[in-house]
């Protein structure tokens, strides 16, 4: 019953959309959508990337046109980008209180934070992989608002990695609920935030009063498409939109004791991996072994750089630089084979974090990497998981 009501609303809203590519945020002035916000005390969960195609920020638009009362900030902050815990504060433009949903011991709004609020509007730019945390924050907001009957109005955006291709191990149920592995989906899930919200609300029986303001004019096969919009980074290390593709390919390298190019300017982020404990000679050999994988569209070169942030800050790192021409590469196979070569070359120096299974989807995959099990031994099982997931996600697909 709940799902049918939600889809009735969605179908109605989509029927009003034009063929041009408009995100949910671009449609807030449409009559029926604007009416849904009128007369309500609103809160908003958003960040710096939440600008419409006209350039206005969501917070400023809601403050000017409706009754915006409170602001929630996710990981990486609100109007600027942070790479640490986000503190509560006050929004300089509106004077409204800002409550962080990414601080020690608090990743969801409290009941008192939602007092007097009728609906919370959400607009977050995701990047299409399970371990990016924004849909975890959305799920926590849905859980917090459901018992209080506060409506969640999610402004949908395209999945930057497209909606056709699905890759990666389906997350084991025992690993779900973690901030980087919230729900049992593959690594590259091929779903928008609106679609994921519908799935989580239904499958976890959250009972949120959920409305999705859909994208209009988006095709699922579109990859890294901005529709002539300027790229606004949703997190510091994704400075350029091309880095979203690199992050999909091997963002999980961050679970190793390796630098991944994070720095003061982040132009190298996810384009390199390395460490002070790798020698220049070993970086040449690592590059050779990775190139021997012969992955179309991919090449590696030895690389060294001075790390200016995060692990090994201030040290020189030796490793490899990834050169990718943008051609579609199966990311789960790529990550698995790179990880296996790293363990084979550096068995006594390379370590994984305790969250490695959450990145890869299961303890089985982690153990297989460590034991140098061939990818081909795992592929059929992963492919079956993916096909089953595509059937499971079908009721929630909007586009």
Distance (Å) of CA 108 to CA 68, 73, 75, 168, 384: 19, 10, 11, 28, 34
Q: Please answer whether residues 399 and 214 qualify as being in contact, where contact means their C-beta atoms are separated by less than 8 angstroms.
A: yes
SS3 172: coil
Count CB atoms within 10 A of the CB of residue 225.
15
Of 226, 256, 254, residue with least CA distance to 132: 254
Q: Rounded distance, CA 332 to CA 313, Å?
A: 29
Of 124, 147, 268, 290, residue with least CA distance to 205: 147
pLDDT the model gives residue 193: 98
368-395 pLDDT tens trace: 999 999 999 999 999 999 999 999 999 9
Q: Which two tokens stand for residue 250?
A: 């091997």
Q: Rounded distance, CA 319 to CA 287, Å?
A: 8
Q: Please answer whether residues 149 and 114 qualify as being in contact, where contact means their C-beta atoms are separated by less than 8 angstroms.
A: no
pLDDT the model gives residue 78: 94
CATH assignment of 242-361? 3.90.1150.140
Residue 373, CB-side half-sphere exposure with 13 Å CA sphere: 12
Our CA dihedral for 301, 302, 307, 312, rounded to 10 degrees, sits at 120
Q: Rounded distance, CA 244 to CA 160, Å?
A: 8
Our CA dihedral for 358, 360, 364, 365, rounded to 10 degrees, sits at -160
Q: What is the helix (H) or strand (E) element at residue 152, kind and residue range?
A: strand 151-155
How far is CA 100 from its chain centroid?
Answer: 18
pLDDT the model gives residue 80: 84
pLDDT the model gives residue 188: 98
Where are the domains positioned within the chain? 2-223, 242-361
Q: Which two tokens stand for residue 353?
A: 């974090």
pLDDT the model gives residue 19: 66
pLDDT the model gives residue 175: 98
Q: Which two tokens stand for residue 381?
A: 């099982």
Interacting residues of 392 by C-beta distance below 8 A, sequence separation 6+: none
Spelled out in words, what is the top-level CATH class assigned to the domain 2-223? alpha beta
Q: Is 349 left (phi over 0), alpha (psi -120 to 50) or beta?
A: alpha
Using 70 as the pLDDT threshold, list the residues of the chain that sit under it.
1-19, 225-227
């Amino acid at each position: 019953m709940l799902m049918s009501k939600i889809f009735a609303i969605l179908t109605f809203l989509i029927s009003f959309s034009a063929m041009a590519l408009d995100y949910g945020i671009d449609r807030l002035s449409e009559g029926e959508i604007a009416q849904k916000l009128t007369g309500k005390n609103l809160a908003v969960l958003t960040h710096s990337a939440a600008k419409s195609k006209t350039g206005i920020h969501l917070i400023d638009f809601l403050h000017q046109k409706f009754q915006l009362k409170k602001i929630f900030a996710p990981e990486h902050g609100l109007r600027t980008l942070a790479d640490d815990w986000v503190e509560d504060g006050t929004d300089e433009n509106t004077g409204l209180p800002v409550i962080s949903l990414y601080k020690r011991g608090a990743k969801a709004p409290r009941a008192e934070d939602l007092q007097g609020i009728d609906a919370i509007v959400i607009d977050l730019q995701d990047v299409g992989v399970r371990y990016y945390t924004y849909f975890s924050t959305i799920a926590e907001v849905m859980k917090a608002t459901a018992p209080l009957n506060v409506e969640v109005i999610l402004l949908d955006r395209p999945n930057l990695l497209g909606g056709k291709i699905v890759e990666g191990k389906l997350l084991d149920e025992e690993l779900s609920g973690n901030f980087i592995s919230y729900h049992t989906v593959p690594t590259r899930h091929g779903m928008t935030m609106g679609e994921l919200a519908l799935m989580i609300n239904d499958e976890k029986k959250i009972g949120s009063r959920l409305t999705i303001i859909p994208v209009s004019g988006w095709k699922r096969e579109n990859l890294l498409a901005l529709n002539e919009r300027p790229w606004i980074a949703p997190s510091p290390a994704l400075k350029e939109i091309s880095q979203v593709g690199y992050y999909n390919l091997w963002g999980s390298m961050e679970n190793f004791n390796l630098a991944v190019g994070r720095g003061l300017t982040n132009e190298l982020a996810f384009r390199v991996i390395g460490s002070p404990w790798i020698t220049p000679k070993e970086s040449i050999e690592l590059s050779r072994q990775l190139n021997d994988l012969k992955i179309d569209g991919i090449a590696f070169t030895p690389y060294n750089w001075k790390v200016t942030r995060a692990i090994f800050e201030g040290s020189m790192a030796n490793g490899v630089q990834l050169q990718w021409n943008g051609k579609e590469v199966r990311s789960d196979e790529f990550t698995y084979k790179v990880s296996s070569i790293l363990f084979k070359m550096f068995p006594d120096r390379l370590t994984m974090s305790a969250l490695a299974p959450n990145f890869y989807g299961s303890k089985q995959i982690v153990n297989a990497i460590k034991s140098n099990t061939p990818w081909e031994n795992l592929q059929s099982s992963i492919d079956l998981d993916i096909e089953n997931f595509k059937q499971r996600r079908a009721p929630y697909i909007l586009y």
